[in-house]
Structure 1
């Protein structure tokens, strides 16, 4: 068995004396692991860092085997991204979310979004917006997408300001006003394009929204807590915004 694909490194761990198991998000083969011989060496480990884009060739005798990777770094980003707390935690959180997907299950649109996103994770004013949108997309990829197209009460598509914490459906201003204390806020940048990065308050509201459904629909049913990297990312973003 053999294939070649482009991918983004999500993580790696040492394996044996000098090898490493590398985890990629690939364009056509989804989240995929493979053994890199010599990947635990100081020379190779420096290149096999989260965020780097690679051209990967995977080989195995049988499809169900771990297999081996031959990797060529095509887009070195790790040095730039790991240098700031917010982008380092964002990479860690991205990996924790993608690991909720079945291994080797193709998600080409997710790979394309991730490829575009990691180019800008070192820009703190964009990172919060991109990561909140990414969490919203992950809910959809995991089968728990929110219905933010129209108001749950009226069917209208205008003035959508809230989301029901139970149904995950959008609610308009007028329909939601009597129950606004029980509803989650829906920042506009989650449903439309914006000319400027959103305010820190809108970013916090977006993370409150996505975090509610990630916890309720993804992590709690699996009996696992929300990733620590998420809390660390939010703290880093707030510290950066306060500077």
Structure 2
């Protein structure tokens, strides 16, 4: 990658040196790419290098193994959302999750479009219920793209696609209401909106976050990656307070 010019989403930043930052950006065709931004902590660049912002990025490196130098131009700012507790928590979590789980240089075009959709929903919706369901679906998609997808097409016990109401923590497969009788406490609720579409009510959304959170913790955010779960816990607590 001697030179690459591409639209991208800012996902994470890490201070490097006295004034610079290493930014991780999600691109449509090249996946997650890291680059060094000289002066990235300056007053001029701080509003540009915010998680969730859309930028036009230019990466320059002498070899494929070298950390690229990166220059960015703001394409669309979501800076005002960082001043609001719930939207800022949603942006912080979704971008951090993406940054730590995607391997560098592997294309994930579906995830790029889905993350952009979640960020746009957070920006457009007047209330959190307008984007919370999209966030649950994004977490499900990310699990699937990383090879840990849930099978919500048919009952793991009876094989039929009807009346699915739970998910088995062991198999990550759906379980029908009839097959779950007597075992409900051992299973995770499957919110109807994940099967039928729509936004779901707050109870369903919180069940969805519990469902995806279980599999993210078990399969993806292990060891050193578990540190970012604090961002998710802040988001979930804020959502609970918002609907209390």
- In 2, Cα distance between the equivalents of 1:217 and 1:19? 33
- In 2, Cα distance between the equivalents of 1:118 and 1:208? 21
Unaligned runs of 5+ in 1: none
- In 2, Cα distance between the equivalents of 1:21 and 1:222? 19
- In 2, Cα distance between the equivalents of 1:137 and 1:19? 33
Contact 2:93–2:232 (8 Å) recurs in 1: yes
Comparing 222-231 with 147-156, which one deviates more in the overlay?
Answer: 222-231
Q: Which residue of 2 aligns with 1:116?
A: 117
Q: Which residue of 2 aligns with 1:8?
A: 9
Give runs of aligned pairs for residues 92-111 of structure 1, distance below 5 A: 92-98=92-98, 99-111=100-112
- In 2, Cα distance between the equivalents of 1:176 and 1:156? 13
Contact 1:7–1:24 (8 Å) recurs in 2: yes
- Report the CA distance shift for 1:224/1:12 in structure 2 as closer, same or farther (over 3 A): closer
- In 2, Cα distance between the equivalents of 1:56 and 1:226? 26
- In 2, Cα distance between the equivalents of 1:224 and 1:44? 29
- Structure 1 residue 191 displacement after superposition: 2.5
- In 2, Cα distance between the equivalents of 1:17 and 1:223? 26
1:61 paired to 2:62: yes
2:196 equivalent among 192, 195, 198:
192
- Structure 1 residue 62 displacement after superposition: 0.3
Q: TM-score, normalised by structure 1?
A: 0.92
Unaligned runs of 5+ in 2: none
- In 2, Cα distance between the equivalents of 1:33 and 1:57? 11
- In 2, Cα distance between the equivalents of 1:110 and 1:223? 19
- In 2, Cα distance between the equivalents of 1:17 and 1:175? 60
Q: Please list the CA deviations of residues 201-240 of structure 1 after superposition, one character each: whole Å capped at 9, or x if unmatched.
A: 1111111111111112122466835610001000111222
Q: Which residue of 1 aligns with 2:89?
A: 89
- In 1, Cα distance between the equivalents of 2:170 and 2:49? 41
- Structure 1 residue 170 displacement after superposition: 0.4
Contact 1:34–1:69 (8 Å) recurs in 2: yes
Q: How many residues align?
A: 239
- Report the CA distance shift for 1:171/1:226 in structure 2 as closer, same or farther (over 3 A): farther
- Report the CA distance shift for 1:223/1:121 in structure 2 as closer, same or farther (over 3 A): closer
- In 1, Cα distance between the equivalents of 2:9 and 2:194? 25
Q: Which residue of 1 aligns with 2:160?
A: 156
Q: Which residue of 1 aligns with 2:207?
A: 205
- In 2, Cα distance between the equivalents of 1:165 and 1:71? 43
Q: TM-score, normalised by structure 2?
A: 0.91
| Partner SS, residue 206 of structure 1 | helix
- Report the CA distance shift for 1:223/1:30 in structure 2 as closer, same or farther (over 3 A): closer
- In 2, Cα distance between the equivalents of 1:226 and 1:177? 36
Q: Which residue of 1 aligns with 2:29?
A: 28
